[in-house]
Structure 1
Amino acid sequence: MTLIQQLLLGSLYLGICLVVEAGLLVLCIHVLRKRLGVLQRGRHFVQISAILAVAIGLIVFAHTLQVWIWATALIFSGAIGDWNTAIYFSLATYTTLGYGDIVLGEGMRIFAAFGAVTGLFAFGISTAFLVAALREVFLLEDTAPVSER
């Protein structure tokens, strides 16, 4: 793959993954807003735990889906020949661990590096989202009468 092709395809997959991330976080906001109404009526440890579990579960699902998107791209581009290796490489790249035990040919290195950029963006967005969600939950807890906590 030429340099321009790697840049264009890498940018395309990066964009697809960020749309997936944003879409799932919007879904998470929708779900959390429904649950926050319940929280306002009666704040309980189990309800708060459920809200956080939903948020974290959707975020983990979003990251897992993105790793699969990159693995699929590597399989269909011919860079990696089997699913086990493609998923492993995608996961190591997406999380920026980069063990170095699998090295792609020169024609795919820049393309694969976009997987790491995707992971950096997605983890940053997810972290900001969780901080904002936790802040809202803590604000609700702080405004609740002591008898409802």
Structure 2
Amino acid sequence: MTLIQQLLLGSLYLGICLAVEAALLVFCIHFLRKRTGYLQGARRVFQIGLVMFIAIGLIVFAHTMQVWIWATALIFSGAIGDWNTAIYFSLATYTTLGYGDIVLSEGMRIFAAFGAVTGLFAFGISTAFLVAVLREVFVLDQQGSDIS
């Protein structure tokens, strides 16, 4: 792949992954907002745990989908020949761990680096989202205990 092709395709997959991340977080917000009434009652600790479980579960699902998107891109571009290696490389790159035991050809390295950029953005967005969710949960819990 030429440099321009790597930049364009890398940007495209980055955009697709961040759209997936945003869509799942918006779904999570919508889902959790409909259930904030659950935080008022005798089983508040269980309910707070459930909210956290749902939020964390959707975040993990979003990251898993993005790793699969990058693995698929690596397979279809011909950069990697098998799914096991593609998923492994995608996961190591996405998390910016980068063991270095699998090295792509020069014509694919910049493209693959976009997988790391995707992971950086997605982990940052997910962390901010989780902090916001937990803040709201703690505020609702505090309001519930003030009422009791």
Q: Structure 2: where are the runs of 5+ without partners?
A: none
Instruction: Count the aligned residue pairs.
Output: 148
Identity percentage of aligned residues: 80
Structure 1 match to 2:135: 135
Please give the alpha-carbon distance, in whole angstroms, between the structure 2 residues aligned to 1:34 and 1:17. 26
Structure 1 residues without counterparts, runs of 5 or longer: none
Structure 1: 4+ residue segments shifted above 6 A: none
Match of 1:106 in 2: 106
Residue in structure 2 matched with residue 118 of structure 1 by the alignment: 118
Structure 2 equivalent of residue 44 of structure 1 = 44
TM superposition shift of 1:48: 0.6
Q: Normalising by structure 2, what TM-score?
A: 0.96
Q: CA deviation at 1:47?
A: 0.7
Cα displacement (A) at 1:40: 3.7
> Contact 1:18–1:122 at 8 Å: present in 2 too?
yes
Q: TM-score, structure 1 length as denominator?
A: 0.95
Distance in 1, matches of 2:48 and 2:35, equals 9
Q: Match of 2:97?
A: 97
Structure 1 counterpart of 2:118, one-letter code:
T
Is 1:145 the counterpart of 2:145 in the alignment? yes
Whole-Å Cα distance in 1 between the matches of residues 142 and 38 of structure 2? 16
One-letter amino acid of the counterpart of residue 66, structure 2? Q
Root mean square deviation of aligned Cα: 1.3
* 1:43–1:141 contact (8 Å) kept in structure 2: no
Q: Name 1:70's counterpart in structure 2.
A: 70
